[in-house]
Chains A and B, each alone.
Chain A
Amino acid sequence: MTAAIRQRVRPRTAVDRFLTFLRFALTALVVFGLFAFLVQQFVGPDNPLTRFLNEDANRLDWDAFRGLLVSGLSQGSMYGLIALGYSMVYGVLGFINFAHGEVFMVGAMTGLITSNKLFEAGVWDDAFPVAILIAVLVSTICATLTAVLMERIAYRPLRGAPRLIPLITSIGVSFFIQNTSALLLGPGAKRYPLLPQWLRDDRGPTWLRIGGQKILVIVVAAAAMAALWYLVERTKTGKAMRAVAEDKEIASLMGIDVDRTIVTTFAIGGAMAGIAGILWGILFGSVTEFTGFLPGIKAFSAAVVGGIGNLGGAMAGGLTLGGSESLAPQLILEPLGVTGHTQLKDAVAFLVLIYVLLVRPTGLFGERLSAEDRA
């Protein structure tokens, strides 16, 4: 209540006005874009509204729309998996582990090495389900180890230091892992072996045909998220994690080993990023030592969009971000006549972040922080 009073009393500054303007501008962009899209879709090119339209815009048919949506969701589910790690570590230690994107990259890299080995051994083509299971296991284990070592070596000695310090350290850790990868495996892009044809085939009823690898990605991501949800909400370990996130001193009074719980949190976040890594490899077929960067930042945005510290929010944020960056260029930007709209994917992702922060600063599912929590 006092906060509300204080807010009302605070005079509006130029910054406030600018933020309000941004809020309206972005809302207007979305509304007009969608309107123009609907006109383009349903009224046809020779209507009085033509001048609002992009003359060259193509109608989007259901197949194309579905394709975009499924790509968006499969990519978004990977953002969601990575976002979980950002969110869990933030929940427990209160800082953003910017090296988490590199954990994802380690997952993709080790997945690549394993798949190529399995390909050479012929297992990849002959028994793909076995091969992919091994690859998922190996990359999950390696990513988990990376996250655990990161905590042990870089962050634990900084426990109790102001939050800015582990945050800056995490940027250093990130460079370290990128360069280690370049040193060990050589710089540049490396290719995953080609997926077997039967997997790449489109599947499903005619109106809903989806590439098999996208189905695989979405199914594996959903399974991983379900497992995580169960772990956090329904097991003793999960309860301990939530307790440590809230109050470390009292958690230790309950007999919880706080350090071990923090390691567990890193490990689980790492495992999720590892799974996302191998799924990324399956979907895009190539990895570089910089693969962790952009997806990492987007996953971080997804965690913020969903409400940092909230696991359901991380998943929802990932899907929102993936879906909008895939759909918005065609649905909003093209009808408005924005040129080069297909290249604006990344910009869209960050605009979504800005928009959510403007409209709902706590994120979609975030709780309002009390003053003491925020301190």
Chain B
Amino acid sequence: MTDQNGAQPLLEMRGINTHYGAVHILKDVDLAIYPGELVCLLGGNASGKSTTLKTLLGMVEPSSGEVVLDGEVVNGKPTSYLVERGVTMVPENRRLFKRLSVLENLELGAYLRNDRDGIDEDLERVYDMFPRVKERLNQKSGTLSGGEQQMVAMGRALMARPRVLLMDEPSMGLAPALVQTNFELIQQIHQEGVAIFMVEQNANMALSIADRGWVLQTGRVVLDDTADKLLANPDLRASYLGEG
């Protein structure tokens, strides 16, 4: 694994195995995210991408291996422990609290924070980033369009003021034009200093903005390289799409 100037990884997985019941999903997965990076995890359906993110956050308990945050093993700690320390996620399919208003969703993103001023500041930041969201603060989030829900889901995650943001297929269900805007937003968040770990089906798009990437196949990391090399790698399409 590439060590960036000998810096300590922000978030790391070491030899992780995860099971759902008797089904073995993740097999000896190693990966590391360094501060300020933008990395992506690619893989076909059911390859275990979402499971990787959930294992990182402690939402799923690995059967062996270590999840390490800032050098500390955090296996078995509740999700809130990681969220408090700056790890959060934009979940697959957005998963807003549909019966709650947009504002309440955003506020829940900052659930563990008590700095009223900082929260207000971050709310303003989210409004700047997504002016549409500001117009709909008191609307129930379930009544928003898919694109608007994606904005609220990103805003909600940003309200936790994360150091590393996990994103599970952020462009799923978005119109092509929106996908482009969405990737630009991700880059913008990244430029503000947030490390991003993105799961994507859209390999070309994801690799074009990422520093590094991994390819997961039936729960195993089969490729681990810089984004440029992955893009140039003829094996990528073969392994990733299961072609050839």
Q: Are B111 and A236 in contact (CB under 8 A)?
A: yes
Q: B109 an interface residue at 8 Å Cβ cutoff? A: yes
Binds B, one of A62-70, A165-173, A248-256, A322-330: A248-256
Binds A, one of B33-41, B68-76, B81-89, B217-225: B81-89
Cα distance A367–B99 when bound, in Å?
10
Q: A100 an interface residue at 8 Å Cβ cutoff? A: no
Q: Please tell me which one of the listed residues B57, B84, B100 contacts residue A243 in the complex, with CB atoms under 8 A apart.
A: B100
Q: Please tell me which one of the listed residues A236, A240, A255 contacts residue B79 in the complex, with CB atoms under 8 A apart.
A: A255
Tell me the nearest residue of chain A to B84, going by C-beta: A255
Known contacts A252-B78, A253-B88, A255-B79; A239 and B107 CB within 8 A of each other: yes
Q: Are A249 and B59 in contact (CB under 8 A)?
A: yes
Q: Are B83 and A254 in contact (CB under 8 A)?
A: yes
Q: A126 an interface residue at 8 Å Cβ cutoff? A: no
Cα distance A367–B104 when bound, in Å?
19
Distance in Å from the Cβ of B161 to the closest Cβ of chain A? Answer: 12
Cα distance A252–B88 when bound, in Å?
11
Q: B160 an interface residue at 8 Å Cβ cutoff? A: yes
Q: Contact string, B149-160, partner A, CB cutoff 8 A, digits 1/0?
A: 000000010001
Q: Are B95 and A239 in contact (CB under 8 A)?
A: no
Known contacts A252-B80, A254-B111, A255-B111; A246 and B91 CB within 8 A of each other: no
Q: Contact string, A263-280, partner B, CB cutoff 8 A, digits 1/0?
A: 000000000000000000
Q: Contact string, B53-75, partner A, CB cutoff 8 A, digits 1/0?
A: 00001010000000000000000
Cα distance A237–B89 when bound, in Å?
22
Q: Are A250 and B111 in contact (CB under 8 A)?
A: no
Q: Please tell me which one of the listed residues A240, A246, A247, A254 contacts residue B109 in the complex, with CB atoms under 8 A apart.
A: A254
Cα distance A247–B104 when bound, in Å?
14
Q: Are A253 and B78 in contact (CB under 8 A)?
A: no
Distance in Å from the Cβ of B21 to the closest Cβ of chain A? Answer: 12
Q: Are B80 and A255 in contact (CB under 8 A)?
A: yes
Q: B98 an interface residue at 8 Å Cβ cutoff? A: yes
Identify which of residues 162-179 in chain B touch chain A, using a CB-to-CB cut-off of 8 Å: none
Known contacts A253-B59, A255-B160; A243 and B78 CB within 8 A of each other: no
Cα distance A266–B129 when bound, in Å?
40
Q: A214 an interface residue at 8 Å Cβ cutoff? A: no
Identify which of residues 123-169 in chain B touch chain A, using a CB-to-CB cut-off of 8 Å: 156, 160
Partner-A contacts on B (CB < 8 A): 57, 59, 78-80, 83-84, 88-89, 91, 95, 97-100, 104, 107-109, 111-112, 156, 160
User: Can you spell out 14 A-B residue pairs with CB atoms less than 8 angstroms apart?
Assistant: A240-B108, A242-B99, A249-B59, A253-B57, A253-B59, A253-B79, A254-B160, A255-B84, A255-B112, A255-B160, A256-B80, A256-B108, A257-B78, A257-B80
Given known contacts A254-B83, A255-B84, what 10 new A-B pairs fall within 8 Å (CB)? A239-B108, A242-B104, A252-B78, A253-B57, A253-B88, A254-B109, A254-B111, A255-B160, A257-B78, A367-B99
